[in-house]
Amino acid sequence: MWLEVKNISKRFDKNEVLKDISFSLEQGKTLAILGKSGCGKTTLLKIIAGIIPACEGDVFHQHKLITHLPLNKRNIIYLYQDALLFPHLNVFENIAFGLRARKLGEEEILQKANKLISELGLTGYENQNPQLLSGGQKQRVAFGRSLIVNPDCMLLDEPFSSLDFETRTTMQMFYKEMAEKFNITTVFVTHDLKEALIMGNHFAVMDSGRLTFYKDKSEFINSPETGVMQEKTFWDNINADKT
Amino acid sequence: MKTKARIRIIVLINLVMIPFVFLLFLSIAGTWFFPDVLPGHWSLNAWHGLFLGNDFWWVLLKSVVLSSSIAILATAMAFFISRQLSRHRYRDILHSIAYLPYSFSPVIYAFCIQFLFIRSGLKGTYAGVLIAQLLISFPFVVLLFSKHWNHELKNQEILSMSLGASEYQTVVRVTLPLTMRLIKLSLIQTFLISWFDYGISLVIGRGIAQTAILRIYQYIAEANIAYAATASLVLLIPPVMLSIVQHKLSSNVA
């Protein structure tokens, strides 16, 4: 397995936020985790990324234990809801950030960053201040900044929640394309049912710190816990009212 | 309406400038006895005396070194320590403690701590004055930085490390550039706190470790008005230069 999470639990004081979470993911697949605000989704991602420690449990990458590795040695990138571009760096330098941290040669940085900028559709914006970009462009730069270091896994914490409907749909498609192209393994958390269905190959629901994993899309759709059928009934009823 | 506004501005400028013009006037007034309206003659003796026949330059240089050291040390220490404090679970209590040195006037504060300086042999030394002034400047910068360490900056630091940067690279490539405006402001403010400090320098320096401001008070005590006025004008040069820099920084931010 590319990524394995085993028996993760987390408590903040006496409040148990994650309860014995386990799942595994193959390379290049996207696990969509659906859950309400405060159910523990973000905490789970932060533990996998190494930002906060778990109370119990371990994280493995290709059967190798990585729980003890610090954040900057895991090659797992956690992306926030906001693009969080570095405001003192232009678009090019934001994208090249990870390469400079790895101390690559200037020529290699130029070549890799320019290639990715072109693939992201950001040619002409290299010297732009990131604060002047639109929401969608900012997210593209944020993805580019992560993709350039060829991460083993990307953890996306509702990255499109601050975008308008149209940009959100475009970015969902864009990320799917990029993830396929770069063979990126992704854990994608969202509270949006439709987004979970669009983004995922594998599906899970998180509720009060517990993760329910579904073996395929149809099981996810038919489960009463996911709310897909309720949603479908709602729209069917709307249609019936019209006729 | 325009004329009225213009008059108001002229009056305001005059009110602000009068003390400085008067200082300049006093520094070049040769002999001037009551009830004469103007001095009997004009003279540059005070300027000559202060810079050629006096160690004022030397004291001024020491003051510049002292204030610059305070500015650099307080800012550097506060940069790292305030970052830790702001992420501490008891940060509110710790920040309240940082206000304590400002509960007293600097002279009383200096009297309170002078015992420690006598016991440690630091009273009457520049090192003693430096440490005592740091005790005032450092908490000031900690408070100045406290609101800067917000969630967004913390997340940017985490993101930088998530992208593979080490802690050192994160400080140099993310934290420092994003804090630079505040660092510059802190350097200016702490320099000015030290530059114009009288109480701590007097009590801890005991007149042996002289600063420029103590020297001016000495001239006043000696009724050497021309020297005091000249030295005061010279003392204004660094703050005026720093005010211009600070103004430029604020304009850039706006």
A140 falls within a domain: no
> Which residues in chain A are contacts of B152 at CB distance < 8 A?
82, 84
A171 falls within a domain: no
Task: List the CATH number of the domain containing A20.
Answer: 3.40.50.300
Question: What is the dotted CATH code of the domain comprising B56-253?
Answer: 1.10.3720.10
A48 falls within a domain: yes
* Domain definitions of chain B by residue range: 1-43, 56-253
Interface test with B, best of A12, A52, A86 (most B CBs within 10 A): A86
> A88, B177: Cβ pair inside 8 Å?
yes
> B158, A78: Cβ pair inside 8 Å?
yes
Q: How far is A146 from chain B (nearest CA, A)?
A: 7
A162 touches chain B (CB under 8 A): no
The model's pTM: 0.83
CA dihedral for B151, B156, B157, B162, sign (positive or negative): positive
Domain containing A54 equals: 3-84+153-166+184-242
Q: How many separate domains does chain A show? A: 1
A71 falls within a domain: yes
A197 touches chain B (CB under 8 A): no
> Which residues in chain A are contacts of B177 at CB distance < 8 A?
86, 88
Tens of pLDDT along chain B (254 residues)?
678 888 998 898 888 888 888 889 888 887 777 788 888 888 888 888 888 877 888 999 999 999 999 999 999 999 999 999 988 888 889 888 888 888 888 888 888 888 999 999 999 899 999 999 999 999 999 999 998 999 999 999 999 999 999 999 999 999 999 999 899 999 999 999 999 998 899 899 887 888 889 999 988 998 888 889 999 999 988 888 888 887 777 666 54
- CA dist., res. B184 & res. B71, Å (int): 10
Q: How far is CA B111 from CA B97, B107, B205, in A?
A: 20, 6, 12
A104 falls within a domain: no
- CA dist., res. A196 & res. B24, Å (int): 75
Question: Which DSSP symbol is given to B177?
Answer: H
- For residue B114, what are its two tokens? 């002078």
Q: How far is B69 from chain A (nearest CA, A)?
A: 28
